[in-house]
């Protein structure tokens, strides 16, 4: 199944869920951009509201996370932000908790890999011990070359730890300066039962991502073709400046390639 949806709600929670259902969008990602300010009680109310709509809910943990920080207190704070996000996702009946793993900061990538690997492994243990069975840690492919998180690094962590990953197609495009083979990318994702992903337009320079922008159909079309050809089970969250409109735009692209595919 292909599930499309926006980052964030349109209106309040009930209105947003009903809008998704009406437009046959099957997913939403709750962004905790500047901090986890939602209470567990509110998360539980969303779960109750969603009993009618059956929308797939994921969470984006706060942006200020660095599991490779040089200061131990920053790593501790990053882990807390991720676990707080997981707790809210659990009470919402959500699944994937997406986060940016960390920064290289003039160090060897292998050393940064080891730090992030150890910290995600510890987070995975905490997730299991707290009984958040349906919640999946999903470090995200990042758009800046200075950030840890190319697709090969995250696939290796997934294999070794048993977490998941979030494939941000726009970030991959920016990391590779627009020189990307989508067939090769999707070959790397073979064997993943369900792919959680993001997509938007993107502006980039020689250091990678600059900013997200409105999605163009021609950018998304080769990605959609790969998904349909491979009959993938995938969720795609729009992170463009117009998340709702671009979720529907992705739906239009799929249906133009294969009528009634969404």
Helix axis angle for 40-53 and 13-22, nearest 10°, is 30
For the chain, the domain total comes to: 1
Cα 118 to Cα 37: distance, rounded to the nearest angstrom: 27
Q: Does 139 have pLDDT greater than 80?
A: yes
- Examine residue 210 and state whether it is found in any structural domain, yes or no: yes
Q: Is residue 20 part of a domain?
A: yes
In a domain, 152, yes or no: yes
| Position 9 pLDDT exceeds 90 | no
C-alpha–C-alpha distance, residues 140 and 166, integer Å:
4
Tell me if 76 is assigned to some domain: yes
Residue 30 forms part of a structural domain: yes
Q: What is the pLDDT of residues 77-131, one digit of tens each?
A: 999 999 999 999 999 999 999 999 999 988 999 999 999 999 999 999 999 999 8
d(CA 168, CA 178): 14
Whether the pLDDT of residue 11 is over 80: the answer is no
Determine phi and psi for 181, rounding to 5 degrees. Answer: -110, 105
Q: Does 109 map to a domain? A: yes
Specify if 250 maps to a domain.
Answer: yes
Tell me the CATH number at 35: 3.20.20.150
Domain that holds residue 45: 2-257
Global confidence as pTM: 0.96
Over 90: is that where the pLDDT of 74 sits? yes
Tokens 């369900």 belong to residue: 194
In a domain, 262, yes or no: no
């Amino acid at each position: 199944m292909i599930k499309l949806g926006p980052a964030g709600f349109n209106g309040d929670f009930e209105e947003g869920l009903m809008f998704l259902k009406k437009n046959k969008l099957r997913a939403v990602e709750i962004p905790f951009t500047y901090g986890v300010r939602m209470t567990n009680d509110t998360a539980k109310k969303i779960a109750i509201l969603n009993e009618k709509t059956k929308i797939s809910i994921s969470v984006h943990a706060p942006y200020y996370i660095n599991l490779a920080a040089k200061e131990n207190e920053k790593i501790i704070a990053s882990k807390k932000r991720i676990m707080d996000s997981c707790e809210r996702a659990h009470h919402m009946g959500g699944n994937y908790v997406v986060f940016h793993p960390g920064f290289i900061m003039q160090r060897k990538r292998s050393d940064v890999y080891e730090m992030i690997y150890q910290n995600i492994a510890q987070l995975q243990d905490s997730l299991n011990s707290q009984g958040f069975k349906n919640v999946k840690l999903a470090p995200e492919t990042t758009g800046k070359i200075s950030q840890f998180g190319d697709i090969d690094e995250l696939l290796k962590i997934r294999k070794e730890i048993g977490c998941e990953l979030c494939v941000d197609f726009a970030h991959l495009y920016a990391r590779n300066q627009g020189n990307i083979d989508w067939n090769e990318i999707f070959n790397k994702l073979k064997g993943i039962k369900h792919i959680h992903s993001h997509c938007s337009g993107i502006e980039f320079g020689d250091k990678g991502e600059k900013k997200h922008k409105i999605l163009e159909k021609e950018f998304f079309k080769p990605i959609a073709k790969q998904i349909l050809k491979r009959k993938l089970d995938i969720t795609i969250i729009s992170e463009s400046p117009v998340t709702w409109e671009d979720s529907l735009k992705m739906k239009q692209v799929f249906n133009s390639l294969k009528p009634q595919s969404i």
